[in-house]
Amino acid sequence: MDPRLQRKRDLEEHRIKDYDLLRRLEDQLRYESEPMRQAKLRKQIAELREQIAARKAELEPLEKILAPRLEEIVGLYLSASFERDQFAELDQAGETDPDRITLLRPFRMSRKHAHGVVSVF
């Protein structure tokens, strides 16, 4: 695996955890009544926000580098999938669902002839 891709994944995971921790710290601050504890929580929140910003700054260039590669990989995958699915496989050929109507049934039920007579097959 490309080390840049691994680093990007790591940074994204850390950001998710950081935002969860930030939410918990802000909830604690909201309900804290002791001034010393409030000050400590505010300091922790500020430090965590700086850490989030630093991770975001490191992540942005990685995203710019890896985005074209990801588009290429997805394109190749889809191309191969569509090419593979182009033809039905033999094990699919005999499967039918009795609850589904095929397109042939509605056309078999009635058909107008040139003389205006309706016939049923």
pLDDT average, residue stretch 59-77: 79
Convert 47-73 into a string of H (helix), E (strand) and C (coil). Answer: HHHHHHHHHHHHHHHHHHHHHHHHHHH
17 lies in a domain?
A: yes
95 lies in a domain?
A: no
Between 38 and 86, the more confident residue is: 38
pLDDT average, residue stretch 68-86: 73
106 lies in a domain?
A: no
77 lies in a domain?
A: yes
Contact 15, 55 (CB under 8 A): yes
18 lies in a domain?
A: yes
pLDDT given at position 72: 74
pLDDT given at position 95: 59
Q: Which of 59, 28, 55, 54 is nearest to 43 (CA)?
A: 28
108 lies in a domain?
A: no
| Domain total in the chain | 1
If you search the block for the tokens 């601050």, which residue do you land on? 29
What domain range includes position 80? 3-86
91 lies in a domain?
A: no
Is the pLDDT assigned to residue 107 strictly greater than 70?
Answer: no
Question: What tokens were used for 97?
Answer: 């669902």
Q: What is the DSSP string of 84-101?
A: HTTS--HHHHT---TTSP
Question: What tokens were used for 59?
Answer: 């992540």
51 lies in a domain?
A: yes
At 20-44, the pLDDT tens digits run: 999 999 999 999 999 999 999 999 9
Is the pLDDT assigned to residue 66 strictly greater than 70?
Answer: yes
pLDDT given at position 119: 47
Is the pLDDT assigned to residue 47 strictly greater than 80?
Answer: yes
Contact 119, 110 (CB under 8 A): yes
CA distance 94 to 96: 6
Question: What tokens were used for 23?
Answer: 């939410």
Which band of pLDDT confidence, cut at 50, 70 and 90, is reported for residue 64?
A: confident
